[in-house]
Amino acid sequence: MRILKYFIGLLILTSLFLSFIPFINTTLALDDINYTFKNDIFYENNSIDNNFVEYNNVKNMTTFTNTYNATHSFTNQIDGTNSTNIDYIDFDVSAINTGVIIIETLESHDKVIEFFDNNNSGLYDCINGFIAQASGTIEWFWRTTDSNKGNQLIFREGITRGPRIQIDVNNFQYYSGGQNNIISALSNTWYHIRLDFECGGGGYLGLAPDEFFITINGVQYGPFDFNVATDNLDNVWITSINADTGYSQYIDAIGYTWNFYNINDNLAPLKYIH
C-alpha cells in the first residue's frame, strides 16, 4: 500500500511539473547539449542532431502582402480584365495591337494595370475621369519596359492639358512650351510618384495658380507650370506615342486625396498580423 501511494504521489508531482513548464523559460539538456526555450515560441526539432530551431513568434507574426492601399488598387479585378471592363478605365479608343489589361503580379506588386503598345503607327488611348478638383494630390506607382519610349500621363480639364508628364528618352519629363527633363529614368523599375497641383487661386502646399510639384521616390521637384492653364482637373489621359512600339507601361495603387485617400497611404504594402 505504501508503494502504491508513493507511485501515485510521484505521478501527481510529475504532472504538476509538466503542466508548469510552458509558463517559464526552461533550459533542457538533450544529449549533453543545453537548449533554452522561450515563452510563446514554436520550435522545430531536427531529429538528426537534436537541434531546436525557433519557428515563429505566435504573438507577433506579421505577413506583408503585395497590395498597396489606394483609391484604385485593382484587387477585385480578375486577371485579364481589359479596356473599360476595368473599373479605372472610363474611356478607351486604343488602336489595334495596343490596349490596357489587368495582370496578376509584377515584381512585388499584385493586380497591376498594364498599358501595351505593339503598333508602330498607333497608340493606346485611355481616360480615367474623376470629380473636378481645383487642387489636390495624386499618388501612384509607375514603371515602363522602355524608358526611351513615350509613356504619357496628361492631367486635364476636359481636353485642356494641365500637368503633362511622361517617361521618354530615359528621363522623367514635363511639357510646358516644350519637353523639359526632370531626372533620369530607368526601364523595368518601379517608381513612387506624387503629383501636387493647384488650378485655383493658389496656396495649396505653397503652389501658385497652374503650378505643380512632382515627387519621385521621395524627392520633390518643381514647381513647374501646367502645359495650359485650367480652372480644375477632372481626368487623366494615359497614352503612348504613335512612332513608338514594342513596350508597356504599368501603373499601380493610384490614390486621389479627395477620394478616401491620404497622402502616403500607398507607400508601404498592406500587412496583417496573426
pLDDT tens, position by position, 28-77:
443 444 444 444 444 344 444 444 444 444 455 656 678 888 999 999 99
Domains in the chain, CATH or no CATH each? 2-57 (no CATH), 66-262 (2.60.120.200)
pLDDT at position 9 is 57
Distances (CA, A) of 203 to 3, 199, 206, 209: 91, 10, 5, 8
Q: What's the pLDDT band for 80 if we cut at 50, 70, 90?
A: very high
pLDDT digits (tens, 9 = 90+) for 192-250: 999 999 998 889 999 999 999 999 999 999 999 999 999 999 999 999 999 999 999 99
pLDDT at position 224 is 98
**For residue 254, which of 70, 128, 107 has the smallest C-alpha distance?**
70
- State the cell numbers at 56: 515563429
pLDDT at position 123 is 97
Contact between 162 and 135 under an 8 Å Cβ cutoff? The reply is: no
Q: How far apart are CA 266 and CA 238, in angstroms?
A: 20
Query: pTM of the prediction?
Result: 0.76
Q: What's the pLDDT band for 13 if we cut at 50, 70, 90?
A: low
